[in-house]
Amino acid sequence: MIIKVLERFRDFVQNLPLWTKTVTWTALFIQLVSFMGLRTSKLALSWSNVFQKHLVFEVYTYVFLHISLLHIIFNLVSLLPVMAKFEKEHGTFACVFITMLPYTLFPAFMHLIFYRFIFAKESISIAGFSGWAFAFISATCIHNPQGPIQNYIPKHWIPLIYLFITTIFVPYASFIGHASGAAAGYATPYIFEHIPLKLWAEKVDSIGSRFKGYQSYDELAYASLPIAEPSTGNPKFPGTGTRLGT
């Protein structure tokens, strides 16, 4: 039974678009390394590590680190449907750009600023994909407000409801990380409106199209930012010393 589940999961991941598949395998590899007893805690993001130990790479690596098996499972369930849909609709370049710049750096900077200057807890770290999940769900809701519950709850409020539930019921969840991710998602159309995405994507697509699963830029899809349905929630699993998600 377990073997069949693992085989189906492997097949599912292999059919994902290139960037979504890459980040999935990267996170799973780091989780495997952690299970083997190797120290991966330095991949989590904290003020003390970045500014006192000069581990600047943490502003990117923290999203790939998860503190437990349940943590990574829940985050993948939340993230993969919306991220894969976005990449298929808008291209791999757009997906890489939006994840590795606003969706990663904005929550990272907000965490560093708040935990250094407001909470004065420099050693508190964050880790996980959940900031990305909040970002993609927010981008989806703000650009595709039509849905089965629109007559009861405005769709653009859904990420905020998720945020409230997660903050109240999930211990150690990072409110700052999740809220920053949601804010970055809401800002997605404004970001794309002010960058020459088509020009950049066309230059990269000629090279990227050589790789299996690479999704080329689609101007029509870009004009309809994004249309994935946020069908999953964003549960987290608490861990010691590290805020869950962003």
Q: Which residues are annotated as catalytic?
A: 130, 178
Count CB-CB contacts under 10 A for residue 43: 22
From the list 14, 188, 218, the residue with the least C-alpha distance to 99 is: 188
The C-alpha atoms of residue 61 and residue 75 are separated, in whole angstroms, by 16
End-to-end Cα spacing for the chain: 32
Q: Which amino acid is at 65?
A: L
Distance CA 72, CA 94 (A): 24
DSSP character for 228?
A: -
- Bridge partners, 241 (sequence order): none
Q: How far is CA 100 from the centre of its chain?
A: 9
Cα–Cα distance for residue pair 132/63, rounded to 1 Å: 8
Which neighbouring-strand residues pair with 173?
244
How many CB atoms are located within 10 Å of the residue 6 CB?
10
Give the contacts of 88 (CB within 8 A, at least 6 positions apart). 17, 215
Residue from 94, 60, 79, 56 nearest 138 by CA: 79
